[in-house]
Amino acid sequence: MLAVDAEKSLGAFTVKAVFTGDGGITALFGPSGSGKTSIANMVAGLIAPDRGRIAFNGDVLFDSAQGINLPAHARRVGYVFQDGRLFPHLSVARNLDYGRWMTGQQRDDTQFKHVTDLLDIGPLLKRRPGALSGGERQRVALGRALLMKPRLLLLDEPLASLDAARKREIMPYLERLRDDTGLPMIYVSHDPAEVRRLASRVVLLDGGRVTATGGVEILS
Amino acid sequence: MFELSPQDWVAVQLSLRVALVATAVSLPLGIAAGWLLARKDFPGKALFNAVIYLPLVLPPVVTGYLLLLTFGKRGLIGGWLADHLGVVFAFRWTGAALACGVMAFPLMVGAIRLSIESVDRRLEDAASTLGASPAWRFATVTLPLALPGVIAGAVLAFARALGEFGATITFVSNIPGETQTISAAIYTLTQVPGGDWQALHLVVIAVLISLAALIVSEWFGRRAGARVHGT
């Protein structure tokens, strides 16, 4: 389980996040500017909290009291960004394989096939990211994060940059992912419908603070 | 008739060798300096930046003289290198390459720095979350994406090195076969009565080489650019 108790000043704005995740999808829900993405970045190791502690299943990722700050590349926390962030100079296949390569894992063709089938991205492997539609790009980004075999997956508004039709296209894949992989996920969103459909646990945020935590029923 | 004397050929070959060696040796340093300036904050950064750009604003003769003081046989660094490693710069073609490299360095670093600054840092963050250590991140994301600028910087430096005159002649003099590059040979010919016509031959060669360098860089840049924006 993810356990977060972290504080970070960003100019005049302070994020103070205290919450735990569960084994399923934990949604960080709140209006834009409520600190959701900053919290995801702290869990990923892209920004360091000023103080606090972040641990996953007992492994300490960050602890200011002990002076521990595991760098992002050593955390094995997958991250799907709102804007995809595929590497434009690499083919889809090389993008997908990047995390396995960087973490020094053995090639796992079964897993590769499984993930590309799950996301229906097999036919795209030879293409470049520049030649993909927005929905295809997000599916590849999902696959890329999964294939590094993370212990936790962060999804930062993965649907926000897509139009309604593309959202409908991706949503079933997210559900499949949740049901198929059993991977704990943190899902950042400001859309109650998305959260209701996907999450098992909700952390409500406003102005950088956690205002409530509980099941999806706390959304209404 | 367009004919080069054997001595002219020696100058052309020497110029190419000097410019190529100067570019090749300074390229890794230029990439390191460009990356430091683009991505890192450290004490003395402004001074570091100023020292790199100094050869661009100093009179070349002054740069050459400073090189003579530091890398000459009795120079601070030159003396040590000669005694311990047997590397001599003074009045050798290697010295010409050093002078050209130093003079071309600001142009190279400038282009590389700009291209690294333009690499989307969010892609570097994405690489980190996928397990790439800082060194791997640089090698697999930052450098490939900055490649068009790196190539442009290298070609610019090569062209600058090819045309270097003041610092080279001050530092290593104008010795045919050792330190007399195209520029120095042209200068020598224009000082000799009736040498103008022969100088013109070398001028044509210099124009052709520079033109070729520009065309090659344009081609490489376009290819690298297409790769980066890949479709």
- % of chain A at pLDDT higher than 70: 100
Return the structure tokens found at B163.
């045309």
- Choose between B112 and A163: higher pLDDT: B112
Mean of the pLDDT values across residues B28-32? 97
| Contact state of A79 with B140 under an 8 Å Cβ cutoff | no
Provide the shortest C-alpha distance from residue B197 to chain A (in Å): 50
pLDDT, tens digit, for every residue of A6-57?
A: 999 988 899 999 999 988 999 999 998 899 999 999 999 999 999 999 999 9
Rounded-to-integer distance, Cα B115 and Cα B126, Å? 19
Asked if A83 lies within 8 A of B123 by C-beta distance, the reply is: no
Q: Note the pLDDT tens digit of each residue in A152-171.
A: 999 999 998 888 888 888 89
Inter-chain residue contact A83 with B122, CB threshold 8 Å? yes
- List helix spans (H) across A3-106: 36-44, 92-102
| Least confident piece of the model among A78-82, B97-101, B206-210 | B206-210
- CA–CA min distance B148, chain A (Å): 12
Averaged pLDDT, B117-124: 95
Distance separating alpha carbons of residues A162 and B126, to the nearest angstrom: 20
Q: Do A99 and B229 touch (CB under 8 A)?
A: no
Query: Is the reported ipTM for this assembly greater than 0.85?
Result: yes
- Which tokens belong to B220? 């490489």
Put simply, whether A173 touches B (Cβ < 8 Å) is: no
Question: Would you say residue B2 has pLDDT above 70?
Answer: no
pLDDT over 80 (residue B227): no
Q: How confident is the model at residue B230 (pLDDT cuts 50, 70, 90)?
A: low
pLDDT value for B231: 53
DSSP string covering A192-216: HHHHHHH-SEEEEEETTEEEEEESG
Interacting residues of B192 by C-beta distance below 8 A, sequence separation 6+: none
Block residue for tokens 């997956």:
A153
Domains and CATH numbers, chain B: 6-228 (1.10.3720.10)
Cα–chain center distance at B202: 21
Percent of chain B with pLDDT over 70: 98
Dihedral sign (CA B171, B177, B182, B183): positive
| Residue A137: Cβ within 10 Å count | 23
Which of B123, B130, B144 is opposite residue A148, by nearest beta carbon? B130
To probe the interface with B, which of A42, A69, A73, A124 has the most B CB atoms within 10 Å? Answer: A73
| Mean pLDDT (chain A, rounded) | 93
Chain B residues touching residue A128 (CB < 8 angstroms): 230-231
In tens, the pLDDT along A170-199 reads: 899 899 889 988 899 999 999 999 999 999
Question: What is the structure's pLDDT at A199?
Answer: 94
Q: Please give the domain boundaries of chain A with CATH numbers for all domains.
A: 2-219 (3.40.50.300)
**A46, A72, A89 ranked by CB distance to B230: nearest:** A89
